[in-house]
Structure 1
């Protein structure tokens, strides 16, 4: 039975980036890791859940991490820079504006579209000599042994691994079978995702606007379009999804205003229910949960993948140090060190996004007054605004 150093279940953003990161590591003797990646479908399949028409925002620090991992040069041509961010509260005076030039960086972050990104990552996985890609493939069963994990695919192929990484989403099959405890919170909201064309060029501007029902964001993307993430109560989201394109754009225009002029067109709309779903201790015997399998966040502030990427970087660094020390990369000591080191950042980001979602998704007059005073204070105080900006850029 073939033995791999690392088997990664799921080749979405987190799984693919981890595989490519680990592929560059070497042991003291110069040999590279033997890696397998299991993925149910190709990214160019129109039903792939990880590489659909959505876009994600990469914080500036995330791009630095991807550069260090050797992956950013392949993704940079697919990215649209965010040079200006405006945060506002509907119907109130509070507003904060940030520009990349204020902080001496070329961009506060970048927006990448998942579909072309998925195709590029898949191409690189296929071309990498020490990565074996099982696609299409699904895990039919696995068994943890003291020194390895035995894995069988639905095709009948079987192999073993020193470390199994579950990067298979918040409904992780591996996490469920291991009974890893999860903490969940239903926000009572859904996010409507679409690509919007506007009369006025976005010029690298991103907008996050808070309404009584939830945040509404427009992020700059290719071909002059903007990527919409509109969080509404679940009932209202159903109504918006049922509207014609013209009626939907009119409703969006009322909420967003004319910061980009008239809203001209909308692409295909998709709706996702929003909930917090996290594993506070996302590791087990020779198993690590990664990406949405470890923590699914509210999209407010767009920090989900950025947190997952910090996990990828930390796990890569832990495995690199273990290799140099001649340690078993799937051992309890190595995984516990990784898990404990990541808990504070993971818990902090879960707490921050949850608090923001609850604070900025209601019309309580006391909370409304407080958040507007907060936004106004940040706008007036350079140090407070700088803290917000660097936090948004991924600097903790």
Structure 2
């Protein structure tokens, strides 16, 4: 379980409460939720506690499901972010060159918004402000987990901080440390990896016509492209390209990049202009083969990293965090085996359904297969025209699937 060349000392370790490793968007949310529930916890953050230092506080524009915003409101984060968020009032899904499309409308679902868009850096800043108000939480930042060792009733962890090494004792170790999770590896939990051979480019653009709160998802042979509504008439562009073309796309000047985006997205919002700084990300699907181990649990990207189609990554991870916090808050022993089994069972339908949906969409909607075109179009038309199917799609898109944590249901219409 620990690195053989760095054994833990035999001396006493200080009590950390629940030990959350990883201070990104999901790890910080979990730490806040535990603190709000009165649970003692320690958050180990690799980056300094500044919005510009945390890698997950990047230039992406997040599409936050309605359930996600409910959950962020329940733990006191949303008031720090709401002013920077843009409501998604309508969603349009289509496939390039095919006749079918599906449309979702917040009014038809009886809500004011299906979700909200928010720059990742703004959510990161809101989380940091809420972390500063936590009462019981101990934060170690910048700090790095170096080793773990099982103990009766928990784990001993060695954490490297600016002031030197510290040893901590915890009844529950939480890996919230991302796709290439150190905790997952040290627990001996394997992962199934699928390389989509795609790269994702994100930036902001200004459309010629007003977006009016509408989000677009458009599929094509080369991968999906999305436009998300932002403040001040801007849109967040998400452009997927084959991995072997990523270098050439990165080298394009702004005019050529906009021409590519225009060809891939189309002209529904008129001409696209004024591109912001571009960032590229390789796309992999990484699914841990288990969510729990003795007195340990994985959440967020450490548990599952999904294709960004449908923008489900953080939404799914937050439901992990809030479900775990809900169960721990009601338990005498946060690392009890029965509790962790309940956690895994609660998360299974949402996790498996979301991963299957995102993977299936990419495999089917972006597959270059002319014989599939009529079937894809008919499926989109069914979701658009058959009310029960449309409502089911809308509910899942808003994050209400499986057995969600109570925090996301507080404002369920």
Normalization by structure 1: what TM-score? 0.93
- Residue 105 of structure 2 corresponds to residue 99 of structure 1: yes
| CA shift for structure 1 position 46 | 4.4
Q: Contact 1:16–1:125 at 8 Å: present in 2 too?
A: yes
Cα pair distance change 1:38/1:283, threshold 3 Å? same
Residue equivalent to 1:149? 155
Select the residue among 28, 42, 47 that pairs with 1:16: 28
| CA shift for structure 1 position 127 | 2.8
How many angstroms apart in 2 are the aligned matches of 1:240 and 1:340? 42
| CA shift for structure 1 position 217 | 0.5
Select the residue among 379, 382, 386 that pairs with 2:387: 382
Alignment of 1:1-396 (within 5 A): 1-25=13-37, 32-42=38-48, 44=50, 46=52, 48-154=54-160, 155-322=164-331, 327-396=332-401
Structure 2 gap segments, 5+ residues each: 1-12, 402-413
Secondary structure of 1:107's match?
coil
Secondary structure of 2:81's match?
helix
Secondary structure of 2:165's match?
coil
Secondary structure of 1:300's match?
coil
Q: Contact 1:44–1:115 at 8 Å: present in 2 too?
A: no
How many angstroms apart in 2 are the aligned matches of 1:42 and 1:94? 48
Q: Deviation per CA, 1:267-297, whole angstroms, max 9, x where unpaired?
A: 1111111111011311112111110000000
How many angstroms apart in 2 are the aligned matches of 1:33 and 1:178? 24
Normalization by structure 2: what TM-score? 0.90
How many angstroms apart in 2 are the aligned matches of 1:359 and 1:332? 39
Residue equivalent to 1:28? none
| RMSD of Structure 2 on Structure 1 (CA) | 1.6
Matched pairs, number: 386
How many angstroms apart in 1 are the aligned matches of 2:390 and 2:120? 30
How many angstroms apart in 1 are the aligned matches of 2:279 and 2:98? 29
How many angstroms apart in 2 are the aligned matches of 1:34 and 1:348? 32
Secondary structure of 1:349's match?
helix
Secondary structure of 1:111's match?
strand
Q: Deviation per CA, 1:47-101, whole angstroms, max 9, x where unpaired?
A: 6321111121111122222233333223322211101111111111111122111
